[in-house]
Amino acid sequence: MTGPPRLLLGAALLFWGGMTERAVPGLACALLMEGAHWTRVRWDFKERSFLVGWRLSVLLLLFAMVLVVLQGEGRNAMAKVFSWLPVILLPLQFVQAYGLSRTMTMGTFSLLVRRRREHSMKHGLPFREVSFSFGHVYFCAILLAACLGELADSVAFFPGLLILISWAVAGAGSWSWKKAGLALPCALAVTALGGWGGQVGLSALYHYVTQGRFGGEGDPSARERQTSLGSLGTIKQSPEIKWRLIPEQGDLPKLIRVASYAAYRTTTWYFDEVPGGGNFAKDFTTPRTLANPANPADPDDEFVIAPPDLADLNVAVDPALPRFRLRGAVPREGGLLPLPANAAALHQFVFEEFDRNSLGTFKLKPLQPVIDARVLWGGDFATEKPPWTTVGEREVNGRQIVRRLDLQIPRIEAAMLKEVADEIGLREGKSVPEKIALLQRHFFGKFRYTRYNSIPRDIKTWADRDRKVAGYVAAKDPTMLGTFLQFTRAGHCEFFATASALLLREAGVPTRYVSGFAVMEIDPESGEARVRGTHAHAWCRAWDEASKSWIDVDLTPPDWANLEPDQASRFQELSDWIQLRRENLLVWRDRPGNMAIITAVLLTPLLIGLAYIGRNLWRSRSRVDAGKDGRPVAALPVTPLSALEKPARKLLGERPPGMPLAPWLAQLSPRLPEPGLLAQAVALHQSLRFDPAEPEAGQLEELQQLVTRLRRELTS
């Protein structure tokens, strides 16, 4: 069995290097593999050498897994490891390419196979050795690794893949294209079209799910601008730990905000009008920084100031402020950073890009896989700007329209909100805290929390199936929010937050809708808070003109946390333990000097081992020459005994290079019912092959008959 065609592995390795942006490793591996065709240096690798190559590959696999984990890869960790398969499997392919044997056996990979073979040989039992060229396996591994590369979605990927596969198929055997006819080209064409269509379809599906009507999770910028009330059904969140709040001084916040929104239209909250009517993207600006007053000599020791319009930056770094460490992961492409709405400053915070918009939403592009920052918070700080007026482009009676975005109410909701506000008594001259208290009594006393959203977006279709709903719809013609406030009086936090924000606006209080997390799970031993996906929450912020400050307004019934179903699996505790240890390790790794320690610990034994192996290879190398004097050796006559090699290979495995045919076939004697026939055939073979005298008449025919009988016994 032969390996892949010449130059195919080299081309595949260059293709892998291009798709994974690893040009230097790809070129080095390609030169090493194709060098086997350019040099006569070889090693007489036995099965033990193949075992050593396999164990080295396993060691490299473990080494790659450790490095990938240390790089902070999450769900893509295994894909990142497998993208290094050409390097991981290089020792095995080296033994195959530079050894004298053309194949390796399954015993290389399985102790069970080796034990079974030893047992069969010891007791004279039949054993079929499975041999194959590892080059084909290596070629497939290269293509798999290329598929996992960063550039696998580029235009060049699919044509390159098809060329390599066609090349491999064309050189796979001794058959010709004439034998295949049009079948093979047609099959390759159909495969190419199907594969290309599948790639385009999956890409379109991915973009549709992440950026279409289901958008939000896949697009890191989508949540900055809008969020909507939940769809019909049970709200499901992940029990995975998203963030950790590790206390250092004082209490921890009860709520951490991810994003804020100001405009509500048809079940969706938006932030699409910025102060001064500017561009939404330009509304994100980099916060100011302040050198650490306690360490002025270090220019890199800075505080990032969270409030936008703070007159005296030093008050944000007051040593008396409560503080905690915020630890968690943000996608490499960027995401939103949850912070208390009254955050003052961030310290020991490393990032590539960090911006804040007018509503206090923080956008982060991380520099490290795990975010670890000290957060100072508390007091009257606010990370968003006060309410502002927006001057519209249209004019009415010669005057431009001036709007207060934080007081706007959709026309379709206006009558219903006025009716509910009058019912509660919100319009009477009360302070903002008093209005909030009225709303709280109303919601806590007459509403209940549910994770199941029973209000569909199409209210009229719902009314056709339910008489009670039909009567209500006929009388009110309601929206989703109106159905929640006047009919079902049950919903999840998004409904309570939206209703609170709009009812307070009806009462003249500027508000904004907020999404984020509730800090509700405290570890009793460490005191740190663990924020999971199941702790996702929504509330609103209200502006108190009297105190010139924003107030968190969370009017979801307080028993909502107890009504959350336990979605944790039986392995959740183990998963948490692994995640926390991994994050702590990554944080420790990123501290100055620690990466050098890790590199030394990992590379030192590996380099020593490679040096030892290289020394032994250098000493044991040999050259495959045509003859000692450079002339080819005269060919010896071939006898019919050579026909026994193929059936014997199934029982004995591949004949070792340099081992004569006769002693190798002699190992079949215990397996034959008449061993004397083999001895007689070997004697005739030796005579015909090496006796300088002319062979006697009939010797060749006699040997042919013996070989025929032996073949029958071996194949029966």
Q: For residue range 493-506, list pLDDT tens digits in order.
A: 899 999 999 999 99
Q: pLDDT value at position 194? A: 79
Residue 548 lies in a domain: yes
Distance of CA 524 to the CA centre of its chain: 32
Percentage of the residues of the chain whose pLDDT score is greater than 90: 30
80 and 141 co-located in one domain: yes
Within 10 angstroms of residue 147's Cβ, the number of other Cβ atoms is 16
Residue 198 lies in a domain: yes
Least confident of 77-86, 242-251, 422-431, 513-522: 422-431
Least confident of 177-181, 407-411, 558-562, 635-639: 177-181
Least confident of 127-131, 225-229, 473-477: 473-477
Which of 156, 189, 215 is the endpoint of a domain? Answer: 215
451 and 550 co-located in one domain: yes
* C-alpha pair distances (Å), 321 with each of 10, 128, 366, 381, 547: 62, 76, 26, 11, 21
Q: What is the DSSP string of 564-624?
A: S-----TTHHHHHHHHHHHHHHHHHHTSTTHHHHHHHHHHHHHHHHHHHHHHHHHHH-EE-
594: tokens are 């620690």
Strand residue runs (E) in 73-140: 104-105, 131-132
Domain holding 69, by residue range, is: 8-174+593-622
Which residue did the predictor score with more confidence, 190 or 316?
A: 316
Query: Residue written as tokens 């905000």?
Result: 257
127 and 26 co-located in one domain: yes
Distance of CA 382 to the CA centre of its chain: 36
24 pLDDT band (50/70/90 cuts)? very high
Report the relative pairing of strands 241-249 and 448-449 from DSSP bridges: unpaired
**Would the pLDDT of 678 be above 80?**
yes
**DSSP code at position 484:** I
4: tokens are 């892949």
154 and 194 co-located in one domain: no
* C-alpha pair distances (Å), 360 with each of 148, 257, 293, 595: 38, 9, 26, 35
Of the spans 72-76, 178-182, 245-249, 650-654, which averages the highest pLDDT?
245-249
* Helix (H/G/I), strand (E/B), else coil: 100: coil
Separation CA 84–CA 88 (nearest Å): 6
**Would the pLDDT of 300 be above 60?**
yes
Q: pLDDT value at position 646? A: 81
CA nearest to 472, candidates 457, 454, 460, 456: 460
Q: pLDDT value at position 217? A: 43
Residue 3 lies in a domain: no
Which residue did the predictor score with more confidence, 314 or 277?
A: 314
Mean pLDDT over 553-559 rounds to 90
86 and 40 co-located in one domain: yes
Residue 567 lies in a domain: no
C-alpha angle 685/688/692, rounded to 5°? 140
Separation CA 537–CA 554 (nearest Å): 9
134 and 13 co-located in one domain: yes
Q: pLDDT value at position 459? A: 61
Q: For residue range 439-455, list pLDDT tens digits in order.
A: 999 999 999 888 777 66
Q: pLDDT value at position 117? A: 86
- The letter for the amino acid at 76 is N
597 pLDDT band (50/70/90 cuts)? confident
195 and 234 co-located in one domain: no
Q: pLDDT value at position 322? A: 95
Question: CATH number of the domain that 497 lies in?
Answer: 3.10.620.30
Mean pLDDT over 79-99 rounds to 91
90 and 71 co-located in one domain: yes
Separation CA 513–CA 502 (nearest Å): 9
607 and 487 co-located in one domain: no
Q: pLDDT value at position 611? A: 84
Longest Cα–Cα distance of the chain, Å, equals: 129
Separation CA 189–CA 193 (nearest Å): 6
CA nearest to 502, candidates 536, 556, 540: 540
Q: Which residues, in sequence order, are bridge partners of residue 255?
A: 518
Residue 316 lies in a domain: yes
**Would the pLDDT of 679 be above 70?**
yes
Q: Is the sign of the CA dihedral 523, 526, 527, 529 positive or negative?
A: negative
Query: Residue written as tokens 């050189």?
Result: 171
CB 566 within 8 A of CB 576: no
**DSSP code at position 97:** H
Q: Describe the chain by its helix, strand, coil percentages, rounded to 5.
A: 50, 15, 35
Q: pLDDT value at position 634? A: 46
Q: pLDDT value at position 303? A: 95
Which residue did the predictor score with more confidence, 565 or 575?
A: 575
Taking all residues of the chain, what is their mean pLDDT, rounded to a whole number?
81
CA nearest to 227, candidates 336, 328, 331, 332: 336
Residue 551 lies in a domain: yes
Burial class for 514, CB neighbours closer than 10 Å (0-12, 13-18, 19+): buried
C-alpha angle 170/172/176, rounded to 5°? 55
526: tokens are 């460490």
Q: Count CA atoms closer than 13 A to 306's CA, side-chain side.
A: 33
Q: For residue range 388-420, list pLDDT tens digits in order.
A: 765 544 554 555 455 688 899 998 889 899 999
591: tokens are 């501290």
CB 543 within 8 A of CB 261: no
Separation CA 472–CA 490 (nearest Å): 16
Distance of CA 84 to the CA centre of its chain: 15
Within 10 angstroms of residue 594's Cβ, the number of other Cβ atoms is 13
CA nearest to 91, candidates 681, 646, 664, 614: 614
Which residue did the predictor score with more confidence, 19 or 606?
A: 19
Query: Residue written as tokens 């098809």?
Result: 162
Separation CA 160–CA 156 (nearest Å): 6
Separation CA 300–CA 671 (nearest Å): 79
**Would the pLDDT of 427 be above 50?**
yes
* Helix (H/G/I), strand (E/B), else coil: 283: helix
- The letter for the amino acid at 229 is L
**Would the pLDDT of 124 be above 90?**
no
Q: For residue range 347-389, list pLDDT tens digits in order.
A: 999 999 999 998 999 999 998 888 999 999 998 899 999 987 6
What is the domain count for the chain?
Answer: 5
The residue count of the chain comes to 716
Torsion angle, CA of 339/340/344/346, rounded to 10 degrees?
-30
202 and 231 co-located in one domain: no
Q: pLDDT value at position 305? A: 94
Q: Which residues of 316-342 are buried (b: 16+ CB within 10 A; e: fewer)?
A: bbeeebbbbbbbbbbebebbbbbbbbb
CB 455 within 8 A of CB 488: yes
Q: For residue range 193-237, list pLDDT tens digits in order.
A: 777 777 777 777 766 655 544 444 444 445 556 676 764 445 557
Within 10 angstroms of residue 70's Cβ, the number of other Cβ atoms is 18
Q: Which residues, in sequence order, are bridge partners of residue 371?
A: 328
Contacts (Cβ under 8 Å, ≥6 apart) of 686: 662
Q: For residue range 143-156, list pLDDT tens digits in order.
A: 999 999 888 888 88
**DSSP code at position 522:** B
Q: pLDDT value at position 626? A: 46
445: tokens are 């006393």
Q: What pTM does this model have?
A: 0.67
185 and 244 co-located in one domain: no
Residue 242 lies in a domain: yes
Q: pLDDT value at position 591? A: 79
Q: For residue range 624-660, list pLDDT tens digits in order.
A: 554 443 444 444 567 788 888 888 877 777 777 667 8
Is the backbone of residue 324 left (phi > 0), alpha (psi -120 to 50) or beta? Answer: beta
245: tokens are 């709040």
Q: pLDDT value at position 331? A: 85
Residue 421 lies in a domain: yes
62 and 103 co-located in one domain: yes
**Would the pLDDT of 550 be above 50?**
yes
CA nearest to 227, candidates 264, 257, 256, 281: 264
**Would the pLDDT of 471 be above 80?**
no
**Would the pLDDT of 304 be above 60?**
yes
CB 540 within 8 A of CB 512: yes
Q: pLDDT value at position 629? A: 39
Q: For residue range 36-60, list pLDDT tens digits in order.
A: 888 888 888 888 888 988 999 999 9
Separation CA 368–CA 349 (nearest Å): 10
